Amino acid sequence: MKPILALGLAVLIWLYPGSAIASANSVTSAQLQEIDQQWKNSAHALAEVNCSSCHQDEKTKQFIAQPTLETCQSCHEFAVETFGWGKHGIRIHEGLSPLTPAMAKLPMKKSAQDQLMNCNACHNVHSVNTVQASVDSCLSCHNDSHSLNYKNSRHAEIFAKQKDLIRPNTESVTCATCHLPRQERGETVLVNHNNTYTLLPRDRMVKEVCLNCHGVEYSYNSIFDDELVEANFDNPPDLELKTFELVRDLERRRTSQ
In the range 128-157, which residues lie near ligand HEC by CB under 6 A? 128, 130, 133-135, 137-142, 144, 146-147, 150, 154-155
CA dihedral for 204, 104, 79, 179, sign (positive or negative): negative
Instruction: Give the nearer residue to ligand HEC in terms of CB position, either 189 or 250.
Output: 189
The counts of H helices and E strands in the chain are 18, 2
Residue 194 is a binding residue for ligand HEC (CB under 6 A)? no
Give the Cα separation of 143 and 113 in Å (integer). 12
> Which positions from 44 through 63 interact with ligand HEC, judged by CB under 6 A?
44, 47, 49-51, 53-55
φ and ψ at 142, to 5 degrees?
-70, 135
Report the nearest approach of ligand HEC to the CB of residue 123 (Å): 5
Give the Cα separation of 99 and 104 in Å (integer). 8
Residue span 19-48 as binding mask against ligand HEC, x where in contact by CB under 6 A, dash where not: --------x----x--xx--x---xx--x-
Residue 111 is a binding residue for ligand HEC (CB under 6 A)? no
Render 202-228 in DSSP notation, one character per residue: TTHHHHHTGGGTS-HHHHHHHHT-HHH
Distance linking the first and last C-alpha atoms of the chain: 83
Report the nearest approach of ligand HEC to the CB of residue 63 (Å): 11
Q: Which of 87, 98, 72, 61 has the alpha carbon at shortest distance from 198? A: 87
Instruction: Give the nearer residue to ligand HEC in terms of CB position, either 23 or 246.
Output: 23
Residue 237 is a binding residue for ligand HEC (CB under 6 A)? yes
The footprint of ligand HEC on this chain (CB under 6 A) covers a number of residues equal to 96
> Which positions from 151 through 190 interact with ligand HEC, judged by CB under 6 A?
154-155, 158, 167-168, 171, 173, 175-180, 182, 190
